[in-house]
A = this chain, B = another copy of it.
Amino acid sequence: MGYHHGNLRSDLLARAAEVIAAEGIEALSLRGLARDLGVSHAAPSRHFDDKAALLRALGTDGSEKLANYVLSAADEAGDNPLKRYAAMGKAYIRFSLVFPAYYKAMTHPEVCAQSDAAFSASAERRRQIISDAARAAQAAGWLADEALEDVLMFSIGTVRGVSAMLADPMHHSQTASIETDLLIENIVRLIIDPDNPQRRLKPAPQKSDNQKRVSA
Interface residues of A (CB under 8 A from B): 24, 26, 107, 109-110, 112-113, 115, 120, 123, 141-147, 149-151, 153-154, 156-165, 168-172, 183, 186-187, 190-191, 197-205, 210, 213, 215
Q: How many protomers of this protein does the assembly include?
A: 2
**Which chain B residues border A145 with CB–CB below 8 Å?**
201-202, 210, 213
Partner of A156, one of B154, B156, B165, B169: B165
Contact B113 A144 (CB under 8 A): no
**Which chain B residues border A215 with CB–CB below 8 Å?**
147
A-B contact pairs, 14 of them (CB 8 A): A24-B113, A109-B168, A112-B171, A141-B205, A142-B201, A143-B201, A144-B201, A145-B201, A146-B213, A161-B161, A161-B162, A198-B204, A199-B199, A199-B201
CA distance A199 to B193 in the complex (A): 13
A96 vs chain B, min Cβ distance (A):
11
Contact B198 A112 (CB under 8 A): no
Contact B112 A169 (CB under 8 A): yes
CA distance A24 to B113 in the complex (A): 11
A66 vs chain B, min Cβ distance (A):
14
Contact A201 B198 (CB under 8 A): yes
Partner of A112, one of B110, B144, B170, B204: B170
The 8 A-B pairs of least Cβ separation, nearest first, read: A161-B161, A157-B161, A160-B161, A157-B162, A158-B158, A112-B170, A150-B186, A154-B190
